[in-house]
Structure 1
Amino acid sequence: MNEVAELISKCLDCLILQPSQPQEHLVQSSSDKPFHAIFVYLIEAKGQHHLVLFLGPFKEYYRNNGIVHVLTSRHNSQDNGHAEFAVKAMTYLPLKSVSWKHFLLALREWLNTPTSEELRALLNLAIGSHVLEETSKMINPSSRDIKSQYDLPSRSLPPLKINGEVLLQNEKTKRWDSAGTVMSMLPDGRSYIVKSNGSNQIR
């Protein structure tokens, strides 16, 4: 098996056309109160990548209140853990609803779903009591464990070496056709700053 891996590593076409990395296990961050963690997003405009940030008074507020600002990669939705997954699920609710009434019902169910074992449902936190769920009669409670379902096809990827050479995948073509150097690891342990073509990228 080692000989096959070595042979592939010397084949340029094999490296460019290799499949995407598998998804890693979902990371869940525990919080003891609402709005304990804040997430930001990277956007791409005219070929340039930008970090979406609140400026001025807001930055001063989270500095004064001990809120830590952590960068993660935009290439893996699971990097931000359950919060990122919840945002993605929320964006599909209007598309799945045939009427405003159905959307409101779906929204209530979404808010009433526990986000993790440690944190109660958002709706329970907001009003301080449990709201009867429509879907609880239709599904097995164990099937609502999003993390266990998400982690079924997942596996842990080995950490990258600092100053090591890596291949970068083109998001559109899915080909590994550019190279870079790992400069540092971000605090989340999964994202890295990679230098490629003279600029630093968060991957």
Structure 2
Amino acid sequence: MSPRGVAIPDLRERLFAAAERVVARDGAAALTSRAVTAEADCAKGVLHTHFAGLDEFVAELVLDRFARSARQAGELRAKVGEGAVAANLQAVVLALLEALPPAVVGLAMTRPAAALHTREGLRTGAPAFEEIQDAFTAYLRAEQLRDRLPAGADAATIALALVGTTHHLLMTRVPGHREDLEEVTGRLLAVVLGGTRPAAP
């Protein structure tokens, strides 16, 4: 265990990762301050030293994962002209879905104080879906300039459809079913990028 009074590098991320492991292993009901610090191998009170309580901690975890996903979306600009457009977009969508476990999202939405803190963070500019949508739009427009996407394609609407579907999947998906997510997002991208609906299975 980390000794009391000694600074712990990257403490926030250590606690966030520990919380995700607790939820994945034992379920949302098992997420307590003590469970998090025990999993992170930290002193019992360290979470309350850095967060007002478990609700703020859960909200900050969700906001942190949104911000990380927004940064990943922003990195799409480096992929312009490389790989397949659909594959580049799908990689970011799947990364976002994997970054936010359903149980953690559920906690942030169903605990009133956590939900309030999350909404306040988003209201005051914490990066999330709007930034991801902007990054998708910018990427698609850049690919249009390289003739890798039809000039008449509506980049902003494609980005909105992608983000809307991602939000829906984030709220409703079943943990551990990546294959299903790949299929659903793949079919969506085939429609919005190709302009045709895939044949029914």
> Which has the bigger relative contact order, CA under 8 A and spacing at least 6?
1
Q: Radius of gyration: which is bigger?
A: 1
TM range (shorter): under 0.3
**More helix, by proportion:** 2
Give the TM-score of the pair, scaled to structure 2. Answer: 0.24
Which TM-score applies when normalising by structure 1?
Answer: 0.24
